[in-house]
Amino acid sequence: MPAPPALFAPRGTTEDIERGDVFQPKFGSDGLLPAVVTDAATAEVLMLAWMNAEALALTIETGLAHFWTRSRGRIWKKGEESGNVLRVREIRTDCDQDAIWVRADVEGAGAACHTGERSCFYRTMSPQRTAAGAARLAPAASPRT
């Protein structure tokens, strides 16, 4: 399904984009924009993924988060295999309208990450370094606000 062009208005002036009330999303040269998903209940950041125009339109119209998977080169309804769909509670855009914030409820087993973790962000930077100087990661508390 091609994205309905009417859902997204053409880009206007900076004033229109920053202060207007008409959605004028800007996709990158690769046709994608980043979308951050947070848990509507806990506010935890669950994942960061990419949307093209079709994925964004599907997300708005179905109320279920859709992305563009760069590795598989296709539209991806989150949870289509696992059942852990993301039911959209709210969609926000930023000042430049080139990023999306989705507040969602995770359905199914409640895991947003393909590893089975609730959030993809399950590791935190530690002050430890390897012998070669690389930063070490440690398990992150979850959920964390």
Q: Does 48 bind its own copies (CB under 8 A)?
A: yes
Torsion of CA 41, 112, 137, 36, to 10 degrees: -70
Question: Which DSSP symbol is given to 64?
Answer: B
Q: Residue 70 is encoded by which pair of tokens?
A: 């760069």
Q: Residue 55 Cβ, how far from its own copies at the closest point, in Å?
A: 14
Q: Does 8 bind its own copies (CB under 8 A)?
A: yes
Which residue of 1, 2, 13, 133 would you call a contact of its own copies, by CB under 8 A?
A: 133
Which residue of 3, 27, 45, 87 would you call a contact of its own copies, by CB under 8 A?
A: 45
Phi and psi at residue 61, in whole multiples of 5°?
-80, -30
For tokens 């947070």, what's the residue?
Answer: 38
Which residue of 80, 108, 110, 138 would you call a contact of its own copies, by CB under 8 A?
A: 138
Residue 119 and residue 106 in contact, taking contact as beta carbons nearer than 8 Å: no
CA 84, CA 103: separation in Å to the nearest integer?
15
CA 136, CA 143: separation in Å to the nearest integer?
21
Nearest one of 28, 120, 114 to 76, comparing CA atoms: 114
Q: Does 130 bind its own copies (CB under 8 A)?
A: yes
Q: Does 140 bind its own copies (CB under 8 A)?
A: yes
Which residue of 51, 52, 93, 104 would you call a contact of its own copies, by CB under 8 A?
A: 93
**Residues within window 55-84 making contact with its own copies, judged by CB under 8 A:** 60
Q: Give the interface with its own copies as residue ranges (CB under 8 A).
A: 4, 6-9, 18-24, 34, 36, 38, 42-45, 47-48, 60, 90-96, 99, 101, 103, 113-115, 117, 120-126, 130, 132-138, 140, 144-145
